[in-house]
Amino acid sequence: MKKGTLLSPTDNRLIEILEKQKLDLVVRFLRKQEEVEAGKEFTNKILASLSDLFFLLTDGLQLVQANQEFYRILGYGNENGTNLSLADLVDDVEYDSIRLALEKGEFQNLETHLIDHQGTHIPITLKGSTYTSECGNILHMLIATDRSDFYSMMNRMHEAQEQLIHSVRLASLGEMAAGIGHELTQPLNAILLFSRNCLKVLEDPVKNKPMLEENLNIIVDRVNKASSIIRSLKSFGGKTIDEKAPVNVNAILTNILKFLQSQLTLSEVEIDLQLDTSLPLVLGQEVKLEQVFLNLIQNAIQAMGKTDQPRMSITTFLQSHIDPETLLEKPFVGIKVQDNGEGIDLDIQRKIFDPFFTTREVGTGMGLGLSIVDRIIRGLSGFIKVESPAGRGASFFIFLPPCANRSGNI
Ligand code: ADP
């Protein structure tokens, strides 16, 4: 168009249309920007209200964005937060496992740790997913749930459980008191008798020297026996040690039976002991397994209270079984404690492992024995079963995984 030339009506119309389109575009752009801003504000509000730690990483695992909770829990200032990378936030091994998980695209509930600004490891469960932004950048979105409270609660529960096991152990001691009293009476009577003998022959100690010597030796022997009973009582009443080690199930059973000998004699229980001498060792805690067998044996003794000829058979064996954890068949060390007592009805069998379930008279049973037994056995990756065919007493089976290549021959 030449300078000074008047515009035709068509040109004016065209300019008008173009102006309108320009205005339209500006309005649409402004609206879009408003929407984006509102979206951003909305996302920021959501992120700020999250009780989880949210953080975004670049493809090179460099931190690009995180919510307030992330900075609050880990203690990094927002200003230097952007210099962080995943390598600053986790250990080397955990770094590799997160990187591998992210390479697969998405993962859930990865148990790991984040390192805070003071180097403290914070237990978390981590979810992650990877997506590509509109500009084609790869971003990894991670959400971590702080598990510190959960683990400290678990620790407190563990302590409470240890305390409970200890109390039940002391209660078992109480139940054994009658037998122990009987066991101690015998050496005490002997000491009394032989001391009196000594007093009698003291009038002529030279002539009676051999007799004095013999009586005094017997007294020393009986005192030693009484002390060994008290020693075993003390060690039994002591606190449990939590470390697992290869243990010999046959030896533990033999010890427990020695310990319960007087209670078994008083209750006139006949014992049939069949121990597989080629049994492998199991990984466990001796005191806890003592507690397990003690509970089962004492329950059996109680269940046979009204039986004419009480008989208990204790058998150990190696048997293949489906592992409830992996559902694969594998060998287990088995322990069976069978009695010919009152048995357990089917509807009761379902409840006996529940804490505080008892059929005993008020004040005689706490109903904690079997629930503790079950917990201990599961803690050792084993399991427990009960069988009670009508009128034929009860059998408790315990299955524990053997230690690899360790024999527990006794
Ligand atoms: P408690 O002995 O204090 O009752 P337990 O947890 O050891 O607590 O046992 C729970 C219940 O299981 C018992 O009250 C009893 O009914 C039943 N029970 C356990 N062992 C036997 C057994 N060998 N024969 C019959 N019943 C048993």
Q: Which CATH class is domain 244-410?
A: alpha beta
pLDDT of residue 80: 52
- How many whole angstroms separate alpha carbon 374 and alpha carbon 367? 12
CA of 352 to the centre of ligand 1 (A): 6
Question: Given this model, what pLDDT does residue 398 score?
Answer: 97
Low-confidence residues in the chain, pLDDT < 50: 1, 408-410
Measure the CA–CA gap between 229 and 238, rounded to whole angstroms: 14
Residue of the CA atom closest to atom 1 of ligand 1: 367
pLDDT at 410: 41
Q: What per-residue confidence (pLDDT) applies to 121?
A: 92
Q: Whose CA is nearest to atom 16 of ligand 1?
A: 359
Q: Which two tokens stand for residue 297?
A: 């044996």
pLDDT at 237: 58
> Six-digit token pair at 12?
């004016």
Query: Ligand 1 pocket test: which of 299, 366, 375, 388 has the largest number of ligand atoms within 8 Å of its C-beta?
Result: 299
Of the candidates 54, 94, 83, 90, the residue with the CA atom closest to the CA atom of residue 71: 54
Round to whole Å and give the CA distance between 361 and 339.
20
Which pLDDT score is estimated for 274? 95
What pLDDT does residue 221 have?
A: 83
Rounded Cα distance between 306 and 340, Å, is 10
From 3.30.1490.20, 1.10.3720.10, 3.40.190.10, 3.30.450.20, which CATH number describes the 11-148 domain?
Answer: 3.30.450.20
Antiparallel, parallel or unpaired: β 383-387 and 311-322: unpaired
| Helices 148-201 + 209-237 axis angle, to 10 | 170
pTM to 2 decimal places: 0.55
CA-to-CA dists, residue 211 to 91, 97, 197, angstroms: 76, 79, 9
Q: Write the CB contacts of 156 (distance below 8 Å, at least 6 apart in sequence).
A: none
- Between the CA of 287 and the centroid of ligand 1 the distance, in Å, is 21
Task: Please state, in angstroms and rounded to a whole number, the distance separating the CA atoms of residues 335 and 297.
Answer: 12
Ligand 1 neighbour 303 (Cβ under 6 A): yes
Instruction: State whether the beta carbon of 296 lies less than 6 angstroms from ligand 1.
Output: no
Q: What is the pLDDT of residue 207?
A: 87
CA of 235 to the centre of ligand 1 (A): 26
- Give the span between the Cα atoms of 199 and 28, in whole angstroms: 118
Q: Is the CB of 349 under 6 A from ligand 1?
A: no
Please state, as a whole number, how many other Cβ atoms lie within 10 Å of the Cβ of residue 245. 12
pLDDT of residue 173: 67
Condensed to tens digits (0 to 9), the pLDDT of residues 160-189 reads: 877 777 777 677 666 666 666 766 777 888
Query: In the chain, pLDDT over 90 holds for what percent of residues?
Result: 34
How far, in Å, from the CA of 338 to the mean position of ligand 1?
A: 13
DSSP 62: B
pLDDT of residue 83: 83
Domain boundaries, the chain: 11-148, 149-241, 244-410
Distance CA 359, CA 346 (A): 14
